[in-house]
Amino acid sequence: MSRILVAEDEPAYAELIKVVLEEAGHQVTTAADGAEAWEQLQRQPFDLLLTDIRMPRMDGLELLSHARQLPAPPRMVVLTSDDAPDTLLKAIREQALRYATKPMLPAQLVELVKEVLAEPADREFHVISATPQWVELLVPCDRSAAERIQGLLAQLDADLPADVRETVGQVFRELLLNAIEWGGQLDPNRHVRIAYLRARRMLLYRIADPGPGFRIEDLPHAAISNRPDDPMGHAQVREEKGLRPGGLGLLLVSKLADELLYNDARNEVVFVKYLPE
């Protein structure tokens, strides 16, 4: 049974969260604001802190900052109706594992809590920069960390057209997972460096992994290596190597990106998407 603290100043919504999570098998304590939640955190340990942002006496961001200093800090999730980029970036700085917009459907809330509690507690990322125009992070080479960062950064693009958001999300996910799985060898003690730059008419991602890089000619199992007259040649190579069907990631990325630039070793890539007027 996980111990969950809910900091929420709307009594009806706090009670709804409590009922939903208790029915899912958790032990839930509620606090009417950040100050009361901080008092609870000092009295006893919790596995998870769910907090609103806008609350009297102590807001959620200050609460996150205090909670991080505890000897055994809880996992932390922001659940708020405040979707301003500045608020999101402050939550990133305070190591919030997720940033979700309320109200949430009960099933979504239960699934969110389940996912967060399943994540390793020691997978912190390091914030180098966190402004609306420039976010730069060091992320552990771990798939769950990749999912978390992708979800957070995607919310910075909420104002873009749906098709642009989808394209950016696909490319970023593929490049990030390649960096974590192949460059970082899924070693959480190694880190991928991610930079997100947002200009008026351009979105740029820069991803650098700790690996030695790669050569296209060494990837016969990837579709990007196929000859023009043999568009499915990689499929036979994958079958011979006993690999699952796939290998389309780099080819997909090359088609979706407006510009895709690699350094000489190919362990660092820049992805550019031009934004509509």
The model's pLDDT over 76-93, given as tens digits with 9 standing for 90+, comes to 998 888 767 777 788 777
- Residue range(s) in the chain whose domain bears CATH number 3.30.565.10: 121-277
- Give the pLDDT confidence score for residue 244 in this predicted structure: 45
What are the pLDDT digits (tens) for 1-41?
899 999 999 999 999 999 999 999 999 999 999 999 999 99
Rounded Cα–Cα distance for residues 39 and 34 (Å): 9
157 neighbors 135 (Cβ within 8 angstroms): no
- Give the pLDDT confidence score for residue 102 in this predicted structure: 83
Phi–psi pair at 192, nearest 5 degrees: -105, 135
- Give the pLDDT confidence score for residue 182 in this predicted structure: 84
59 versus 102: the higher-pLDDT residue is 59
Which of 58-67, 119-128, 140-149 is modeled with the greatest confidence? 58-67
248 versus 62: the higher-pLDDT residue is 62
Residue 249: band (very low, low, confident or very high) from pLDDT cuts 50, 70, 90: low
- Pick from 196, 68, 194, 205: nearest CA to 140: 194
- Residue range(s) in the chain whose domain bears CATH number 3.40.50.2300: 1-118
Q: Which two tokens stand for residue 191?
A: 């880190």
- Pick from 51, 132, 156: nearest CA to 95: 51
One CATH from 3.20.20.300, 3.40.50.2300, 3.90.79.10, 2.40.10.10 for 1-118: 3.40.50.2300
One CATH from 2.20.28.120, 3.90.245.10, 3.30.565.10, 3.40.50.300 for 121-277: 3.30.565.10
Rounded Cα–Cα distance for residues 153 and 156 (Å): 5
Residue 120: band (very low, low, confident or very high) from pLDDT cuts 50, 70, 90: confident
Residue 237: band (very low, low, confident or very high) from pLDDT cuts 50, 70, 90: low
Mean pLDDT of the chain: 85
Please determine, for residue 185, whether its predicted confidence score (pLDDT) is greater than 80: yes
Residue 270: band (very low, low, confident or very high) from pLDDT cuts 50, 70, 90: very high
Residue 208: band (very low, low, confident or very high) from pLDDT cuts 50, 70, 90: very high
- Pick from 52, 51, 53, 48: nearest CA to 27: 48
One-letter amino acid of 115: E
Please determine, for residue 215, whether its predicted confidence score (pLDDT) is greater than 90: no
